[in-house]
Structures are given as structure tokens and as C-alpha cells.
Structure 1
Amino acid sequence: MAEVHAVKSLDKVKLISHLLERNYSQQVADVWNIGLNLALRISDLLSIRFSDVCEDRLLLIEGKTKKAASIKLNQKAIDIIHRIRQEQPTHTYLFQSYRNQRAMNLPPQPLSRRFISRAFADIGAQVGIQLGTHSMRKTRGYHLYKATKDIARVMKMLRHSSEGVTLRYIGITQEDIDKDFVELEI
């Protein structure tokens, strides 16, 4: 499995959202946009239920770590969630699969990780970047680091335990660090 990357250009982030909506659906673009704003692993993102959203917070137990997460939602995430809720008042999941609606007597299911992964890879190929389901977390971490230069803050957001892991995860290379030393003269 090829390593996926953070999207370092904000224009490319918007282009990816546009292409996902145009080539797939608004729902797939919403996965991308909410994923960028919540920095969750894809399994946790797709498993969000409307009952997990309490006003301006998302409360869930992370699947990988089994730790409780309480994430304050920003206005963009709130707006998207509110729109989806209005459009799909009977849905259980934020990103509910429409396939199960057609099947009689089957419980609701979220979109599959495989479907989202394929959509992201397809759009990534179109824009020339290795894009995958982890790209949303990596992109959020990368842009937070670039804005703050506070690796501890990024580690906390991503719930990592090592600076080295976090720097590698968000795609900060020695070249980036060297550039920061050259550009900042005191």
C-alpha cells in the first residue's frame, strides 16, 4: 500500500473537494471536508452517528485507541452537519450508505472505507498527489503545524505520543526544517 500525503496547498484542498463533489457526490465531498476539520481516522469518521453530536461537540470513543474523544466543532463542520441532518432527517449515521436504504429490513450502515479510499485515490491521481483516507488527518496536522510551529499542539490534536512520529506523519521533512532556519533570521 502506497504512503499517502498531506495536501500542502490550500488551493489543492479546495480543488479536491470540488472534484469529489463533481465526480462522485456531495456526500463524498462532505466526508473530505468534515475529515479535514475533525482530523479523525477514517473508521471513526465514517462511524459518526448524529447522536454523537451534542451542540458544538463531537463525543465518541476512538476505535483504534478506545479513548474517549471530545472534539469542539468549528463553524464549517457545524454547518455541514446541520445541512446533512436537514437533508436526511431519518439517517442514523452522518455518512450513511444509501445502498442499505434500498435493501429491505437491513440496519443502516455508514459508507464503506473502501469506497471512500477509491474515490480519494482517483481524485488524487487527477491532481497529482498520493491521496488516501489518512490525507485528511495529515493535511489538518500539516496546516496546524505550519500556522503555529507547535508540534506539541499537533501531537495532542492527532493524539500521537511522539514528536518524530507526528513530524513524519504530517510530512515535515528535514528540507522543511532547514527552510524554516534559513527564512527566519533574528
Structure 2
Amino acid sequence: MNYVHPVRDTDQIAEMKKYLQRKSERDYMLFVTGINSGLRISDLLPLRVKDAKKTYFDLREQKTRKQKRIEMTPGLRRELKKYVDGREDDEYLFKSREGLNKPISRSMAYKILREAADYVGLDGVGTHTLRKTFGYHFYKRHKDVALLMEIFNHSDEKITLRYIGVNQDSMDRAMKDFKI
């Protein structure tokens, strides 16, 4: 599996949002929900309309099997409210066009994100980029690695910093400034 990166540049995030919004409301909402919640793709895809009608996501993580409650940002709540208006509670939030009521597949989510990343000229993007982008910008804003570690269920701060690419940023800066 290839290593994927967060989207660090907020202008690129905005361009990806615009691209996805023009393409598909569902694809746009997948991106927006992912970068504003920090949920893994395996926890995003099973969400249903009823899950988006609350002010938080309440779920059992697929990977860790831990129960988790994530408060939605006010902006995400507004976007989701518009998105789910008039839809049935049992409908999947990111519904596939195939079948009666199935979520999109992980591979379809990857394809959606790769297409948007290609549009803005980004490499190293995959489904995990959503979670890493959330983590990177959360850390940059709050500088609270302990809280982010808790959100991600990581066991060590070093793991969290490496995971969101902050250590990579530091190494890149150090190498740019290095000369003998």
C-alpha cells in the first residue's frame, strides 16, 4: 500500500471542494464530511441519513471496535442538513448509483478522491487522506497533540505527529535550509 498525505494547502482543499461540488453533491459531501470529522473511510461509508441529522456522529469504529462520539462542526452540520433534506432516514449517506440502497465502495471513494486530487495536481492522495487532512489542520489550529491522539485512538504522540505529516514538514524545512 502506498503512503498517502494530508492536503496541507487550504487553497487546494477549496479547489477540490469546487471541483467535487460541480461534479456531484454526494462526492462533495464525502470529501467535506471526511475532512471535517477525522473518521476513517470504513466508518464514513456505512453512515446513513439518520446519522447526519444529529449534531454528532455516534458509531462503533470498524477498525478498533471502540464506541466513538464525534461532534460535528457547525459548518458540517449546515452542509449535511441541506444534503439530507427530503431523504429517507435509512438511506445511505453516500449512496451508490448501483443497487437499491447500498453505500459506495471503498474503491469508488478512492476513485472520487484521486480524480479531484489529479484536478488540482496533487500526488499521494487516497481515502486515508481525508482523515489525515483533518488531523493536520486540527493540529495546526489547536496545537493539541494529546487531544488529536485521543480522537484518532493512537497510543503515542509521536505516532500521531508522524501520521499527520507534521514530522515530515519539519524534515522538509530542515533539508531546505541545510547546506555544507
TM exceeding 0.5: yes
> Is contact 1:81–1:94 with CA below 8 Å preserved after alignment?
no
Shift of 1:171: 0.6
Equivalent position of 1:10 in the other structure: 10
TM-score (norm 1): 0.83
* Contact preservation (8 Å) 1:39, 1:158: yes
Q: Does 1:35 align with 2:34?
A: yes
Q: Do structure 1's residue 152 and structure 2's residue 151 form an aligned pair?
A: no
Aligned to 1:50: 49
Indicate how the Cα distance of structure 1 residues 174 and 118 shifts in structure 2: closer, same or farther if over 3 A, else same.
closer
TM superposition score normalised by structure 2: 0.86
Q: Write the letter of the residue equivalent to 2:33.
A: I
Mapping 1:75-86, distance limit 5 Å:
75-86=74-85
Q: In structure 1, how many angstroms separate the alpha carbons of the residues matched to 2:108 and 2:168? A: 34
Partners of 2:139 and 2:145 within 8 A in 1? yes
CA separation of 1:89 and 1:83: change in aligned 2, threshold 3 A: farther
The gaps in structure 2 that reach 5 residues or longer are 175-180
- Report whether the alignment pairs 1:113 with 2:119: no
After superposition, the C-alpha distances for 1:20-59 in whole angstroms (9 at most, x for unaligned) are 233x311101100011111100010011123334631211
CA distance, structure 2, for counterparts of residue 88 and residue 54 of structure 1: 11
Q: Which residue of 2 aligns with 1:105?
A: none
Closer, same or farther: CA 175–5 of 1 in aligned 2, 3 Å? closer
Aligned positions, number: 173
* Partners of 2:50 and 2:90 within 8 A in 1: no
Q: Partner of 1:133 in structure 2?
A: 127
Identity of aligned residues (%): 35
Root-mean-square deviation (CA, aligned residues, Å) is: 2.1
Change (3 A) 1:177 1:31: same
What code does the residue aligned with 1:81 have?
L
